[in-house]
Amino acid sequence: MKNYGVKDVAKLSGVSIRTLHHYDKIDLLKPFNRTEAGYRYYGAKELLRLQQILFYKELDFSLKEIRQLLDEPSFDRLTSLEHHKLALKARKKRIDQLLSTIDNTIYHLKKNTIMKNYKDLYKGLAKEMGTTYRKEAMTKWGKNTIEQSEKDLLKLGKAGFESLKVELATITEELFSIRNESPESKKVQGLIAQHYQIIRQFWGTSVQKDKQASIYAGLGQLYVSDDRYMARDGEAQPEFATFMQKSMQYFSNTQIG
Amino acid sequence: MKNYGVKDVAKLSGVSIRTLHHYDKIDLLKPFNRTEAGYRYYGAKELLRLQQILFYKELDFSLKEIRQLLDEPSFDRLTSLEHHKLALKARKKRIDQLLSTIDNTIYHLKKNTIMKNYKDLYKGLAKEMGTTYRKEAMTKWGKNTIEQSEKDLLKLGKAGFESLKVELATITEELFSIRNESPESKKVQGLIAQHYQIIRQFWGTSVQKDKQASIYAGLGQLYVSDDRYMARDGEAQPEFATFMQKSMQYFSNTQIG
DNA sequence: CTTGACTCTACCCTTACGTCATAGCCTACC
DNA sequence: GGTAGGCTATGACGTAAGGGTAGAGTCAAG
| Contact: A101, B58; criterion CB under 8 Å | yes
Q: Which of A96-105, B55-64, B121-130, B242-251 has the lowest mean pLDDT?
A: B121-130
| Contact: B96, A92; criterion CB under 8 Å | yes
- Given a cut of 70, is residue B141 above it in pLDDT? no
DSSP helix/strand/coil, B252: helix
- A 10 A CB-CB count for A201 gives 14
| Contact: B99, A92; criterion CB under 8 Å | yes
Report domain A4-75's class. Answer: mainly alpha
Phi-psi region of A151 (alpha: psi -120 to 50; beta: other; left: phi over 0): alpha
Angle at A182 between CA A179 and CA A186, to 5 degrees: 105
- With both helix axes pointing from N to C terminus, report the angle between B238-251 and A44-58 in degrees, rounded to the nearest 10: 20
Residues B249 and B184: beta-carbon distance below 8 Å: no
| Residue B19, pLDDT score | 96
φ/ψ of residue A62, rounded to 5:
-80, 160
Find chain B residues with C-beta within 8 A of A233's C-beta. 1
Chain A residue whose CA is closest to B236: A44
The whole-chain average pLDDT of chain B stands at 74
How far is A100 from A66, CA to CA, in rounded Å?
Answer: 34
Chain B residue whose CA is closest to A104: B81
Nearest to A92 among B12, B55, B92 (CB): B92
Share of chain A above pLDDT 70, in %: 63
When comparing pLDDT for A145 and A197, which is higher? A197
User: Could you tell me if A82 lies within 8 Å of chain B, comparing CB atoms?
Assistant: yes
| Residue A108, pLDDT score | 62
Q: Which of A107, A85, A119 is nearest to A208 (CA)?
A: A107
Chain B residue whose CA is closest to A9: B239
Count the alpha carbons within 13 Å of B59 in the hemisphere toward its beta carbon.
Answer: 27
* B154-CA/D28-C1' distance, Å: 92
DSSP helix/strand/coil, B208: coil
* A16-CA/C23-C1' distance, Å: 21
DSSP helix/strand/coil, B2: coil
Share of chain B above pLDDT 70, in %: 64
Using the CB atoms, write b or e for A25-45: b if 16+ within 10 Å: eeebbebbeeeeeeebbbbbe
Nearest to A84 among B102, B229, B241 (CB): B102
Q: pLDDT of B123-132, one tens digit each? A: 433 333 333 3
Count the alpha carbons within 13 Å of A131 in the hemisphere toward its beta carbon.
Answer: 6
Q: pLDDT of B6-25, one tens digit each? A: 999 998 888 999 999 999 99
Which residue is nearest nucleotide C19, judged by alpha carbon to C1' distance? A18
Give the total residue count for chain B.
257
Nearest to B101 among A59, A232, A238 (CB): A59
Determine the straight-line distance between the first and last CA of chain A, rounded to whole angstroms.
63
The dihedral through the CA atoms of B231, B235, B238, B240 has a sign that is negative
Interfacial B residues in 12-71 facing A (CB < 8 Å) = 12, 32, 43-45, 47-48, 51-52, 55, 58-60
- Given a cut of 90, is residue A239 above it in pLDDT? no
Nearest to A78 among B106, B232, B238 (CB): B106
| Residue B180, pLDDT score | 83
| Contact: B238, A48; criterion CB under 8 Å | yes
φ/ψ of residue A206, rounded to 5:
-80, -10
Tell me where in chain A the CATH 1.10.1660.10 domain(s) lie.
4-75
- Given a cut of 60, is residue A113 above it in pLDDT? no
How far is A88 from A91, CA to CA, in rounded Å?
Answer: 5
Interfacial A residues in 196-225 facing B (CB < 8 Å) = 221, 224-225
User: Could you tell me if B232 lies within 8 Å of chain A, comparing CB atoms?
Assistant: yes
Find chain B residues with C-beta within 8 A of A83's C-beta. none
- Given a cut of 60, is residue A39 above it in pLDDT? yes
Q: Is the predicted ipTM greater than 0.95, yes or no?
A: no
- With both helix axes pointing from N to C terminus, report the angle between A112-124 and A132-141 in degrees, rounded to the nearest 10: 160
